[in-house]
Amino acid sequence: MSAIDSLFDRLRNANRKALMPFVTAGDPDLQFTAEVIRELVARGSSICEVGIPYSDPIADGPVIQASYTRSLAKKTKLAEILETLGRLTSDVSAPIVTMVSYAIVYRHGLEQYIADAKAAGVAGAIVPDLPVEESGPLAEICRREDFGLIQLVTPTTPRDRAVRIAEQTTGFIYYVSVTGITGERQTLPQEILDNVGWLRRQTPLPICIGFGVSSAEHVKMLAPVADGLIVGSAIVRRVSEASRKPRREVLANIGDFVTELLEAMQ
C-alpha cells in the first residue's frame, strides 16, 4: 500500500478528512519552503502539495503564477527541489506530492522522474496538463512503482471521460471545483456537491477538491462530500509576505490559518 493509500485509509477509519496545502518550491527560497512545510504538518495538515515552478503554467491564477516567476528568477532547479524534499520527507509525517507539468516529466524522462521523485520520498505527482488519452505510459510506470498519478476532473469534463480519468488515476482524484484558473474566491458553486457525489459512485478512489478553496466557510461546505481539501493560493499569498515581513511572523500566520481550516473540518 502506497503512502497516499495508507493515509486515506487511516483518515477514513478515523472519519477524518485531509487538508492538503500547496506551496511553490523555491518561493522565496527552498529553505523557507521546507520551513513552511514543517509548519503545515506540525499544525495538522495530512498531505502537502509542492509546485514545481514552470514558465507556462496551465491553470494557475496570478498568485501562483507570480510565485513560479519569483522561484524561476532565482534559477530554482528540479534537482535542488528534490534534494530539499529528500531531506524533508525523512522528518515529516505527511506524504508529499508534486504538482508538475508533463513537459518537465517528459524532458527529465518518465522512468527517471518517478525514480528520482521516489528517491526523494515523494509519494505522487499531480500532472495537470497530461490528457487521459496520453497518460497510459506514465500511468503504467506509476502503478508498477506504487507511485501516485493524480489526475484532474473538472466541472466540464464529460462523464464518460471522467470515468476514464479515474481508471488511469492512482492515489486520489483531484476534483477542480470551478472552471477557470486557481485563485481565492468569495463563493463556490453549489453544484460541486452533486458533481462530487456522482463521481464518488464511479470510483473507490478518494476525491480531493481544489481551486478556489480559501476559507473556513468553503471547508465547512465541502468537507461533507470530500475526502480532502486542497488550499493553494491562500497559502501562497501568505508565503509571499516573507519578502517584507519577518519569516517567523509569516510562518505563524500560515500556521494559524491552517488551524482555522482544520477546526472548520470538525
Q: Quick check: is 111 catalytic? A: no
Based on its alpha-carbon atoms, the radius of gyration of the chain, rounded to whole angstroms, reads 17
Each residue of 12-43: pLDDT tens digit?
999 999 999 999 999 999 999 999 999 999 99
170/133 Cα distance (integer angstroms) = 16
Is there a contact between 126 and 99 (Cβ–Cβ < 8 Å)?
A: yes
Catalytic residue among 5, 49, 194, 217: 49
Give the mean pLDDT of 78-85: 98
For the chain, domain boundaries:
3-149+227-265
214/229 Cα distance (integer angstroms) = 10
Q: Quick check: is 80 catalytic? A: no
Residue 192 pLDDT class (50, 70, 90 cuts): confident
Q: What is the DSSP string of 104-118?
A: HHHHH-HHHHHHHHH
Q: Bigger pLDDT: 192 or 51?
A: 51
Backbone angles phi, psi at 190, to 5 degrees: -65, -25
Q: Does residue 216 sit in helix, strand or coil?
A: helix
Residue 191 has pLDDT above 90, yes or no: no
DSSP 40: H
- Say what the pLDDT of residue 57 is: 66
Catalytic residue among 60, 116, 145, 217: 60
- Of 3.60.150.10, 3.30.450.20, 3.10.20.30, 3.20.20.70, the CATH number of 3-149+227-265 is 3.20.20.70
Give the mean pLDDT of 107-136: 96
DSSP 217: H
In the numeric block, which cell numbers belong to residue 177?
471545483
